[in-house]
Amino acid sequence: MDTAEHDGKFAWASFYEAFANALLTWRNRRDELVKGIHLIASGVEGMSHLQDKSIMGEIFPLKDICPFTTMGLFNRNLTDSNRKIIAAKLANLLGVNEPIPDSFAGIPLLNNQKSWFFGYEKSRDPNDIECLWEMFSQAMTFADNQNTNSADFTAAYDIASTVMNVGWNLTMGLYWTRPWFYPTLDSQSQYYIQTVLNIKIIKNGAKGRCSGQSYLSLMRALNEVFTQPNYPVHSFPELSLSAWNTDLSQSKDEVANRTWKASLLNKIKALCLKKNGPYFTASELEENYLDVFKVEHPESKTVTSSIYFYLQKLCNDDELKSLESGNYEYLNFEKNESQTITEETVEESAPLPKLTHVPYDISHLVQDGCFLEEAKIQLTLQRLIDKKNLILQGPPGTGKTWLARRLAYCLMGEKAPERISAVQFHPNLSYEDFIRGWRPGKEGQLTLIDGPFVNAIKTAVNNPTSKYVVIIEEINRGNPAQIFGETLTLMEADKRTPTEALSLSYPKNDDEKIYIPENLYIIGTMNIADRSLALLDLALRRRFAFIDLKPAFNDAWRNWVNYNYAIDFDMLAFIKSRLTVLNDMLAKDVTLGPQFCIGHSYVTPAIGQKINDAQAWYEQVVDTEICPLLAEYWFDAPNKVDEARKVLLAK
């Protein structure tokens, strides 16, 4: 390995090795370690998953932890900034003096939903966590003193491999401890090793993974080929990084594996919820879902064989436990479980998550065409963060809906449209539409169906490290107090905890309660110029922060329109002067007022629109958009509309 590369893109390795060294000294001080971790978790976003479950279903703070799960706290699918914060606080707890890495290039990450290397208390053996500490100790002993007999390492490896929730993630943990010595065999690296490097991985150990001896044999084989000058990679960190840059979608087998496991696990979950217990048989799966599987997997010629094959795969993944005579136990069964299993959920690791979202902040918002002053944008965003619920109100054409979506992106720090739920309120919208209600199901039976708000709540609860936003357009066009129902109480920022949970009007079972998590935000828009709409209920109003938007014919608007549409400054000055005069007329009209002004959106061309003749375009906007609105305002005074048109077009 070249020294410059050793100290450059993989400089993080020194921190990881020092962290592992320090962590090992806490093996016999685990009470103190766990207490320190919980203290850190109480003040850091992204560490809310440290809750254990007893055999009686009680949820309580984790009382013990293994070293791999500890290192996994900052090697999960989080933002780099959060990873650095967690790593720094843990390093301070352990007494690690190495600087926090600037980059995490080549480090595989755990799936957030499977980031423990052991099971819940209700499922794990009493010695599981101690086995993982022994593995951790043997790994560093063997890496630091290669003359040591490998028998102790392989024995510890084979025992650790049998622990619930341990699979290929064990090799990731070994890689974290000594990245120059141990290879990671996450799914991406396996694909690269076998497909690109053409080296076979022997899977003769527990749960269909490597045995300890096979793992060491692979490690030695890789080290041998690394010495070849023209070999694609020359170290384990370089291999991991190269693997990440390789397109996994090329592997049809890998895609089929993920799709089948996700599909099967969803059916198992549904079957167990239907039976109200974790036990089921393979024949029950076939009776209930064989036809569905045939539709979902038309490429499979032997669906029944595939079901049994992937049942075994799920047993290897510690999702199921095989009993006898085709009986199984779904190990993660929860009576109130609602999360849909995806292809990503069933993966035990999510190595080096690809950046699928474009970063987004206030500077991007301004570039996109927001004409508010930066201080106003910052205030708006801060009120959303603090209050959790925000309403953008203003005259027509002030960009309320446009701004709502981009504020959501600023809040998230990235453009993630799939984490936004948009709903438009209207007079006929009801609680049953928005929260939950009865709908016709199969064979004419009524079924309780969750509305968009409950769906958003469940998604946010199941993904606590991500921010979600519900955008409600024209929130005062419906009856918000009736539509929100009991969830109105839960919207307050200080009530967003499980302890404040309430039963819905239509619960799915007697024990079901719901709360709005702190990572779910609500942005409403409100047109206060519509005479047909009632004022907001005072109870609802108290739960929102309100931001007034006004027409913005300022320099930011002028410069942006000129730059993007080549409309000259003289024409823009003319448009500004005409709209300013009109808005002054509207504001002073005793039957109207400032809330009836005309916003800048009317005279801001749509994205991609070509303006060949700015004067003609402006006149079209006046005649087909602004004047029809004015006719609504002055429905009993058409002469005022004519006067306003003359003002708008006056040279």
Question: What pLDDT is stored for residue 307 in this prediction?
Answer: 86
Please check whether residue 110 is in contact with residue 169, taking contact to mean a CB–CB distance below 8 angstroms. Answer: yes
Question: What pLDDT is stored for residue 443 in this prediction?
Answer: 63
Question: What pLDDT is stored for residue 341 in this prediction?
Answer: 44
Question: What pLDDT is stored for residue 339 in this prediction?
Answer: 47
Question: What pLDDT is stored for residue 446 in this prediction?
Answer: 84
CA distance 582 to 587: 9
Residue-wise pLDDT tens digits, 174-230: 999 999 999 999 988 998 998 889 899 999 998 889 999 999 999 999 999 999 988
One domain, residues 539 and 425: yes
Output 425-429 pairs: Cβ under 8 A, ≥24 positions apart: 425/472, 425/473, 425/474, 425/475, 425/476, 425/477, 425/478, 425/480, 425/483, 426/474, 426/477, 426/478, 427/477, 427/478, 427/479, 429/478, 429/483
Return all residues near 100 (Cβ < 8 A) that are at least 6 apart.
Answer: 15, 84, 87, 88, 91
Question: What pLDDT is stored for residue 608 in this prediction?
Answer: 72
One domain, residues 515 and 446: yes
Give domain status of residue 219, yes or no: yes
Give domain status of residue 347, yes or no: no
One domain, residues 525 and 557: no
Bridge partners of 469, per DSSP, are 420, 521
Domain boundary (224, 243, 262) is at 243
Question: What pLDDT is stored for residue 340 in this prediction?
Answer: 46
- Residues of the chain scoring pLDDT < 70: 1-7, 247-256, 298-301, 324-325, 335-357, 441-444, 530-536
One domain, residues 432 and 512: yes
Task: CATH number of the domain at 267, please.
Answer: 1.10.10.10
Question: What pLDDT is stored for residue 529 in this prediction?
Answer: 73
Give domain status of residue 352, yes or no: no
**Structural domain for 287, as ranges:** 250-328
One domain, residues 80 and 158: yes
One domain, residues 634 and 558: yes
Q: How many CB atoms lie within 10 A of CB 116?
A: 21
One domain, residues 174 and 143: yes
Residue-wise pLDDT tens digits, 448-457: 888 999 999 9
One domain, residues 205 and 262: no
One domain, residues 388 and 530: yes
Q: Please, what sign has the CA dihedral across residues 300, 305, 309, 314?
A: positive
Provide the domain count of the chain: 4
